[in-house]
Each structure stands twice: as structure tokens, then as C-alpha cells.
Structure 1
Amino acid sequence: MMRTRFTKLVGCRVPIMLAPMADVSGGSLAAAVLRGGGFAFIAAGHARDEDRTKLDAEVDIFRAEDNSGDSFGVGFIGHSSMKSDNMKRVEAILDRHKPLAAQFFAPAFAATGTNVKLCKDKNILVFAQVGSVEEAREALAYGVDCVIAQGREAGGHGLRSELGTGTLPLAARVVELTRELNPATIVLAAGGITDGRGLAAALSLGCDGIVLGTRLWATKEALGDSTGKKRDALLRAEGDDVVRTRTFDAIQNVDNPHFWPAPYDSVGALKNKTTESFHGKEEELIAKITGGDVAVLSSYREASKNCDITRTCVLAGEGVGGIKQLDGAEDVIKMVEEEAIAQIRRMNGMIT
């Protein structure tokens, strides 16, 4: 076993957590991660009615596939699920599924931290994902159980690039802050980590474990890619092919009833013709769309419908170059564990 404060807190064997990726982290993926020895979150997304229905189905799948009990977490997108009219939906989800932990992100807190109090009153662990030192300070002030330091190398949504911090410096600083302000809080590193070397690096910084997103999306159990085209693109990609951009949200927010607000309207994704045309020109793009230019919008909608990866969004973190084959999630967890142990032993041998 790789014993850390994280493995002790959630009762897993390996200090690896599955990120609650909306429309990706379902029951089968969560169960496979647990079989491998990690800890898993299932995504509740925006906590809309359709999200709750999907969550119910995925939790049923998880419980059918995992015999260890109910050791899982539920992840919420903060800006939508924690609106005053939606907080009751969050509470209903927690009451229905009774997860061990709840994660909140973008932002991690409702006004006056009511989401933290809600969870603590129900004896549910609170995981807060942050992208900056300022957000980390807020998390520690609210007394969360775990701070996830998400660097700008991450795939999916996060702070705009100019506001965020790289994974290693952010994680190192958050570790320092927890020791100073709230030593009981554990820290996980997220963003650009895909293998055991990344886990070893995070542990060497004082973190208690890591979060895997992109690496576990590129697995057989993950949801969200019925054609297989997006995951095939991940297997071919290098870190150089990834960009943190506002381009896709600038387009997708038009059709999204829970559009991503600033400063979280930014994703790590593979570069393609869409980013080639509009990255760094988002205000111009928004002006085109709101001004009645339907060509860009209709073209993107068609590309998304047909899963044309040369134009539609393929979320990916900068560690994507380390993913070369589509494995089962259980095998991924075990491989990362073995690589980390080998790396730590190698480093230990450097001391004379």
C-alpha cells in the first residue's frame, strides 16, 4: 500500500482520485477505479433534472459493479448547482445517495460557504477544487477536508490561463498554506498528470495524492465518446497539441442554459481549426455570433453533431502525450501505482 493521509481519509489503497468529469465519470468508470485501488467521484454536473436522472442511473451501475459498499464521491459544478434555487437539488442528491464525499468547483463555494456547512451537517467530506492561491486561502478559511490544486495544464474547465498557476508551483504553495493555516486539510494535485512519475512528483511536494482526469477519460469504461473519435485523438496527441482557450465556451455558451461564466469560461483542449481561427480573438468571435453571423455557430453545431474533431472540442490536459493506448481504468490505476513506486525507489537510490 502507498499510505498517505488521503488513503486514510477515504479508505483507498492508492492515493489516486478519479475527477468528476461531467458526462464522462459514470458508474462503470468509478467502479473500475475502486477495483484498481483508487477513489472515485461520479459527476452530478449542474444538478439539473436531467443530470440527477443520469446520476441516479450511474450510481445504480456503480453499486451493481462494486461490492465494497458506498465508498464514492459526487462532484458538482459550482456556478450552476449552488444557485439559491438549486441548492435544494444538491441537498436532495446528497440525501438520496449518501456519498462519502462531495466535490465543488467553479467556484468551490456558495455565498458564506453554505455548501460546506450543508455537507458537514450530513457528515460528508468536502473537496474543493481551486486554481489559484487566492481560492486556496478561501478553501482553508471554510475548513474543507481536501483542497485540490488544479494547475492550468489541466484538461476541461478551469481558470483562464492568465489567472491560473501551473500545477507544481500551485500544489507546492497550497501545501505550505495548509501547514500554516489548517494542517488537518489534505492536498491533491491535478492538471497534466497521467503517470506514476506525476504521482511521485506530487508526493515529493508534500501532496497527499493526485487527481486523474484526461488519463481516465482515455479508458474503456469512460462515458462521453460513443464514436471513439475523441479518445483516438487523445492517443495520437502530444502536450504541444493542447491549448487553454476560451474559444469553445464563446461558441457553446450560446446553446448552454447553464453557460460557463468568467473566469471559468476556459478549457484545456486539443488545438484544431476552430482554435486556429479564433483563439485569442474570443471577443471578436462573440461579437460575430451575437451580431447575427450564423455561419460560425451552425458550422460548429454540425461539427459537434458529426464529432468532427478537426473543429469540435476535444478536452485534454497537457500530459496527454503520455497516453498511448486505451486501457481499462483498473489497469491504469495499477500501472500508475507501480510506476510511482519504481520512481520513488529510484530516487531513494540517489541518496548516498
Structure 2
Amino acid sequence: MALRTRVTELLGIEHPIVMGGLTFYGRAELASAVSNAGGLGMLTALTQSSPEALAAEIARCREMTDRPFGVNLTILPTIDPVPYDAYRRAIIEGGVTVVETAGRNPAPHVEDLRAHGVKVIHKCASVRHALAAERMGVDVISIDGFECAGHPGEEDIGGLVLIPAAADRVTIPMIASGGFADGRGLAAALALGADGINMGTRFCATAEAPAHPAIKDFLVANDERATNLIFRSLRNTARVAKNRVSDEAVARLSAPGAGFETVAELVSGKRGREALVSGDVDGGIIWAGQAQGLIHDAPPCAELIARIVAEAEAIIDTRLTGMRA
């Protein structure tokens, strides 16, 4: 069985489930497993050290799946310039058909990507940004509720309100993001007006996720309370897993006038990557959302996606239908 939506039709996928653009995790092993299971796997461009490395990873992923997969291109303010144009060229020349943009304004990339037949998903944390992206010409909106891992914006609107608020005004296909981990969430997202879901934290706890088993056990053991919001005072809020490092980052930034330099060594990407590889759950920042409270195992992606779709179908076909008088 499969749930057919505007997203499955547009992106050429079997199930309306998209893998989030995951720093460190967004490599061929996990992306291909999600795609082979009928979802849309996602490589993360900036997880690769250069555009040339991304091109090689795209080729490696294509050897592991014959189904569609995408590339996340997150546009961030950085100290050292990032060759975004070269990353975009690697995506186009690699024959990738879907790109997820996130972060800053994607306008410099959208026209070129679409001119080469690439479908563009843009991740937004507010309705007004979603409408701006739609006017810009993107193909799909991924609307990101406050429950999410990563950057939920500064307006603190949860998905239960944000998703239908966006659906009321956005006319192009829309993916619901933030807090999704099971079939109940997929059924709810469809009921709220979305055409599919985006899952990040949930895919970090799967057999194919390229992290140490201790990290997966950590995510499974955590509940929905086990996150911290860091960088709040800097107006760059980020939701991460609660551990000693993120606790310390919150404490340091609570001091009057504290700036990013007070936590730079705590939150460095290098330190976080080392933690994920070594399995040291207190070794660095571990990105995770409130969906941790819905994660109870770390199965293969094929098992997880089949379970989610079957659960959603059962809810739609049996539970909800059975409530009608």
C-alpha cells in the first residue's frame, strides 16, 4: 500500500516521507537506505568538505540506489566564504533531481536549479517566509515547527498551529517538519493540510545512520524533554539534545552580554562530529528534537518506513473512519 499525495507525485517517490538535511548523517549510506525504502533520502552538501567531495558522494549514492534522492544545501553565515555556486554546480552536474534549500534566502540558487530541471524544496519556520519562497518559485515548502531539531526560528510556533496556518495560504505542495517520528504524525500532518512529512531525528536512530551505536541508544533512551534551546539570546535559536555540553552552553549564554565567542569551543562542529563517531554522548553538541520522546528503537530504514506508512493507513482507514456516527 502507499499514500499518494502531491509530494509523492511531484518528487517521484513511493511514500510521502522525506529525510531531513542532516549534518554528519546526510551521507550515501543513510540517504540511499531511505530512498530504497520508498522515501526521499537526502545527502547534505556541506557535510562534504568540498564541491568535488559532494560530486563523489552523489556518485556513490547513485551506486547504492536507483531511486530518487536529494541534496540539502543550507545557506549559512560563515567566517570563511563557502563556494555555494560550486556546490550547486556539483548537484546539477550529478543529475540530482531534488534539492532542499534552508537557512538564508535561496533566491541566488533557485532559478539555476529549476532551469536544469531540479525540484526545489525550501525549509521555512514561518508562514511569511513560506509565502516569500513560493513567490520566489520553489516547488515545495517544508514548514518547520518549533519541535524540530536545528533552527526553529524565533517565533516559537508549534506544528499543530503552524502547519494548518501555512496550508491555509500556501498553494504549492507542502511537507510538515518538526516532531515527526511515527505513523500517527504522518496521519496528523496529512489531516492538517500537508502532503508529507520530513523526519530528521528519527532517521538518526536507524541501523543505517552513520553514528556510533551509543549515540543511537542515547536518542532511544531520551524523552521529549531531553532538549536544550541554545543561542536564544543571540536570536539564532537552535534545538539540540540535552547533555553536559549543551547545558554548559545555555549557562554561559545566560550571562549578561555573553556572545558567541563564549561558547564557540563548546559548539564547534568538529567537536560534535567527534562525539558522534566516538559515542561520547557528552562530548559535543548532538542535534536532536523533541521527537526523541517518540523513538523507541533503531530499526533499518525499510522497516521503519513500512511501519510508519502502515500505521498511518490504519489510522486513516480504521480508527478515524470508525469514529463516524
**1:321: which partner in 2?**
293
**1:207–1:285 CA distance, 2 compared to 1 (3 A):** same
Q: Give me the whole-angstrom Cα distance separating, in 1, the residues matched to 2:152 and 2:248.
A: 22
Match of 1:270 among 224, 241, 245: 241
**1:131: which partner in 2?**
125
1:293-322, Cα deviation, whole Å (9 max, x unpaired): 999799x95995665323522221111122
1:29-53, Cα deviation, whole Å (9 max, x unpaired): 122112211112211027x7x2434
Match of 2:163 among 129, 154, 171: 171
* SS of structure 2 residue aligned to 1:45: helix
Query: Is the CA contact 2:249–2:266 (under 8 Å) kept in the aligned structure 1?
Result: no
**2:255: which partner in 1?**
284
Q: Give me the whole-angstrom Cα distance separating, in 2, the residues matched to 1:33 and 1:301.
A: 27
**1:333: which partner in 2?**
305
Superposition map of 1:1-352 within 5 A? 1-45=2-46, 50-68=49-67, 71-79=68-76, 86-107=83-104, 109-110=105-106, 113-155=107-149, 157-160=150-153, 162-178=154-170, 183=171, 185-223=172-210, 225=211, 227-246=212-231, 263=235, 265-279=236-250, 281-282=252-253, 284=255, 287=258, 290=261, 307-310=279-282, 312-345=284-317, 346-352=319-325
Query: Is the CA contact 1:28–1:61 (under 8 Å) kept in the aligned structure 2?
Result: no
Q: Give me the whole-angstrom Cα distance separating, in 2, the residues matched to 1:289 and 1:268.
A: 16
TM-score (norm 1): 0.81
Query: Is the CA contact 2:229–2:250 (under 8 Å) kept in the aligned structure 1?
Result: no
The gaps in structure 2 that reach 5 residues or longer are: none
Task: Report the AA paired with residue 167 of structure 1.
Answer: G
**1:91–1:196 CA distance, 2 compared to 1 (3 A):** same
Task: Report the AA paired with residue 76 of structure 2.
Answer: H
Q: Give me the whole-angstrom Cα distance separating, in 2, the residues matched to 1:297 and 1:314.
A: 9
Q: Give me the whole-angstrom Cα distance separating, in 2, the residues matched to 1:6 and 1:132.
A: 20
Task: Report the AA paired with residue 219 of structure 1.
Answer: T
Q: Give me the whole-angstrom Cα distance separating, in 2, the residues matched to 1:307 and 1:347.
A: 42
Deviation at 1:193, TM superposition (A): 0.5
* SS of structure 1 residue aligned to 2:255: helix
**1:321–1:302 CA distance, 2 compared to 1 (3 A):** closer
Q: Percent identity?
A: 25
Query: Is the CA contact 1:152–1:244 (under 8 Å) kept in the aligned structure 2?
Result: no
Query: Is the CA contact 2:267–2:284 (under 8 Å) kept in the aligned structure 1?
Result: no
Query: Is the CA contact 2:144–2:152 (under 8 Å) kept in the aligned structure 1?
Result: no
The gaps in structure 1 that reach 5 residues or longer are: 251-261
Deviates more, 1:144-153 or 1:300-309: 300-309
Task: Report the AA paired with residue 15 of structure 1.
Answer: P
Deviation at 1:139, TM superposition (A): 1.0
* SS of structure 2 residue aligned to 1:284: coil
* SS of structure 2 residue aligned to 1:55: helix
Deviation at 1:7, TM superposition (A): 0.7
TM-score (norm 2): 0.87
Deviation at 1:159, TM superposition (A): 3.5
Task: Report the AA paired with residue 115 of structure 2.
Answer: D
1:49-74, Cα deviation, whole Å (9 max, x unpaired): x2434423432332222134xx2211
**1:275–1:39 CA distance, 2 compared to 1 (3 A):** closer
Q: Give me the whole-angstrom Cα distance separating, in 1, the residues matched to 2:257 and 2:134.
A: 36
**1:117–1:302 CA distance, 2 compared to 1 (3 A):** closer
Task: Report the AA paired with residue 232 of structure 1.
Answer: D
1:81-112, Cα deviation, whole Å (9 max, x unpaired): 9x9973421332123212111111012x24xx
* SS of structure 1 residue aligned to 2:45: strand
Q: Give me the whole-angstrom Cα distance separating, in 2, the residues matched to 1:90 and 1:314.
A: 25
**1:40–1:67 CA distance, 2 compared to 1 (3 A):** same
